[in-house]
């Protein structure tokens, strides 16, 4: 059976379900979203265990936290949001905005967040009266399959069409077979959401279907001369070690001003960090990039596992994370890139202008468009970084992996899919949420005519 023949019944079932869902009121849609979100939230332990057991990545307890936190935050964002029919009437312009579904959404899922991402993707797509077909990484399939079963039961209990949520296995004899199937799925759907690596994002763009992709993370974070280290260091360490750094938003590098460097390193060590010497750095690099690519034996593994792979000593094996000093950036300096591991690169810079340049150089190498951060009490420094950095998000005095995808103490939308703008070859700079899976009709009524004069439009230029 060809991929086209295999996928066609999935699409037909989704289209039939979505046609019924299209007639739902806002109240009914919100009830559906509440049901599928509760199916994930109330089974967080089961989903986290499946994700941990079959992917071998991260920390079980942190995966439970991630499912619950992301689901609760997303539900908070969606609960009162309008997504059905007339959502805005602007009397001044005479324009009424009407929200309509896109249709059938394909969602490609990563192995790193196999339990939380399916729940989030289902919530934000169903909020717009769409149907969704999840396509998990093979290592994440058991968690996804279990969640789909739970979500379908929740839909059935409401009398809603179960085929609003389906999943397609990408398991094949090799990765190329899986990618071909994913490509065909996206080609047959109305829209695609890809929360996976650059190769999969590129696959989506080449499918011919409109696609939301996400950017590569490699977040550099500045510690300036005014930073409150007592507040900053616990946040950084908690973020860096959460779920063994599966998050693309985890701090990958600290850029530290010279006057705070020594005390920052000391504080990192006091909070469980292990500072590698040059020989240990070399051994760690060889273990992490044995063939030029990041080793799967390192990604999202514990510090003890990494120490064993790199042949580091017993003291290193007992650390929470590793600190690697670096002064270079680029392909010849792999520690300057994304690591998805409990390894934190640190740079020492002379002044704030140098810090901003270092951040931008890191992002130019990897992570452009995604995010960066700063710990400071200097508003001028915040403004300078925000104006200069080619990123979608700049976090101020926050733990990066916790808050980049939305936080209870910031105003960003909760998500597991973050756009990186044209810097990252994406079509959005926003945290992807329900509004990104809506079509809009703009109903325009006549208003009193106003035709501007030449003087109104070009008077300043003409006078000059």
> For residue 202, what pLDDT is reported?
85
User: Is 248 an active-site residue?
Assistant: yes
Q: Is the pLDDT of residue 437 over 80?
A: yes
- pLDDT confidence tier of residue 201, bands split at 50, 70 and 90: confident
- pLDDT confidence tier of residue 381, bands split at 50, 70 and 90: very high
Q: What is the DSSP letter of 313?
A: -
Instruction: Quick: pLDDT tens for 273-297.
Output: 999 999 999 999 999 999 888 999 9
Across 242-254, average pLDDT: 95
Instruction: Quick: pLDDT tens for 110-123.
Output: 999 999 999 999 99
Across 396-406, average pLDDT: 97
Angle at 350 (CA atoms; ends 346, 356), nearest 5 degrees:
70
Other C-beta atoms within 10 Å of 278: how many?
8
| % of the chain surpassing 70 pLDDT | 100
> For residue 196, what pLDDT is reported?
79
C-alpha 343/C-alpha 429 separation (Å) is: 27
> For residue 360, what pLDDT is reported?
98
Q: Point out which residues pair with 394 in neighbouring strands.
A: 372
Across 326-350, average pLDDT: 97
> For residue 320, what pLDDT is reported?
97
Angle at 149 (CA atoms; ends 432, 84), nearest 5 degrees:
40
Tokens 């340049």 correspond to 357
C-alpha 279/C-alpha 412 separation (Å) is: 42
Q: Is the pLDDT of residue 367 over 80?
A: yes
Q: Is the pLDDT of residue 197 over 90?
A: no
> For residue 417, what pLDDT is reported?
94
Which residues does 97 contact at the CB level (< 8 Å), separation at least 6? 86, 87, 88, 89, 90, 440, 441, 442, 443
Calculate the average pLDDT of the chain: 96
Q: What is the DSSP string of 117-151?
A: HHHHHHHHHHTTT-EEEEEE-GGGHHHHHHHHHHH
Query: Is 3-214+432-443 a CATH 3.40.50.300 domain?
Result: no
Which residues does 46 contact at the CB level (< 8 Å), separation at least 6? 146
CB-based burial, 406-436: b 16+ in 10 Å, e otherwise: bbeeeebbbbbbbbbbebbbbebbbbbbbbb
> For residue 6, what pLDDT is reported?
93
Specify the CATH number of the domain 220-409.
Answer: 3.40.309.10
Single pTM value for the model: 0.95
| % of the chain surpassing 90 pLDDT | 93
Q: Is the pLDDT of residue 198 over 90?
A: no
Contact 165, 35 (CB under 8 A): no
CA R_g for the chain: 24
Q: Is the pLDDT of residue 175 over 80?
A: no
C-alpha 147/C-alpha 46 separation (Å) is: 9
Q: Which of 189, 248, 372, 401 is catalytic?
A: 248
* Among candidate residues 143, 375, 84, the one with its CA nearest the CA of residue 251: 375
Contact 248, 338 (CB under 8 A): yes
- pLDDT confidence tier of residue 256, bands split at 50, 70 and 90: very high
Contact 147, 39 (CB under 8 A): yes
**Residue ranges covered by each domain of the chain:** 3-214+432-443, 220-409
């Amino acid at each position: 059976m060809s991929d086209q023949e295999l996928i066609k019944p999935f699409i037909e079932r989704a289209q039939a379900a979505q046609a019924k869902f299209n007639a739902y009121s806002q109240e009914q849609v919100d009830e559906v979203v509440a049901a599928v979100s509760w199916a994930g939230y109330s089974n967080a332990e089961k989903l986290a265990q499946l994700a941990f057991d079959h992917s071998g990545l991260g920390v079980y307890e942190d995966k439970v936290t991630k499912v619950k936190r992301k689901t609760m935050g997303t539900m908070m964002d969606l609960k009162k949001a309008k997504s059905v029919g007339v959502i805005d009437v602007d009397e001044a312009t005479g324009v009424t905005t009407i929200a309509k579904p896109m249709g059938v959404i394909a969602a490609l899922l990563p192995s790193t967040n196999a339990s939380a991402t399916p729940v989030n993707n289902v919530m934000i797509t169903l909020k717009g009266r769409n149907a969704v077909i999840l396509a998990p990484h093979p290592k994440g399939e058991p968690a996804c399959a279990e969640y789909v079963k739970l979500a379908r039961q929740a839909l059935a209990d409401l009398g809603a069409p179960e085929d609003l949520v389906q999943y397609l296995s990408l398991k094949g004899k090799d990765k190329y077979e899986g990618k071909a199937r994913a490509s065909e799925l996206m080609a047959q759907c109305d829209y695609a959401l890809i929360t996976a690596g650059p190769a999969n994002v590129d696959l989506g763009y080449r499918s011919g279907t409109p696609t939301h992709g996400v950017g590569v993370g490699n977040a550099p974070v500045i510690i300036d001369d005014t930073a409150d280290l007592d507040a900053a260091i616990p946040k950084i360490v908690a973020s860096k070690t959460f779920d063994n750094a599966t998050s693309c938003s985890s701090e990958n590098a600290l850029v530290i001003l010279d006057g705070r460097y020594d005390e920052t390193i000391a504080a990192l060590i006091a909070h469980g960090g292990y500072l590698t010497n040059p020989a240990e750095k070399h051994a760690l690099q060889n273990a992490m990039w044995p063939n030029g690519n990041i080793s799967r034996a390192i990604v999202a593994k514990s510090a003890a596992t990494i120490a064993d792979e790199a042949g580091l000593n017993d003291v290193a094996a007992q650390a929470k994370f590793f600190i690697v000093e670096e002064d270079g950036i680029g392909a010849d300096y792999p520690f300057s890139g994304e690591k998805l591991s409990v390894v934190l690169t640190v740079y020492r810079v002379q002044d704030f202008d140098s810090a901003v340049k270092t951040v931008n150089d890191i992002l130019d190498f990897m992570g452009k468009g995604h995010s960066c951060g700063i710990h400071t009490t200097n508003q001028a420094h915040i403004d300078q970084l925000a104006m200069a950095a080619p990123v979608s998000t700049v976090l101020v005095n926050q733990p990066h992996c916790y808050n980049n995808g939305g936080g209870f103490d910031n105003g960003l939308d909760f998500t597991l899919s973050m756009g990186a703008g044209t810097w990252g070859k994406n079509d959005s700079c926003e945290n992807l949420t329900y509004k990104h899976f809506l079509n809009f009709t703009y109903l325009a009524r006549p208003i009193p005519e106003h035709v501007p004069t030449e003087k109104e439009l070009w008077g300043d230029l003409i006078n000059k």
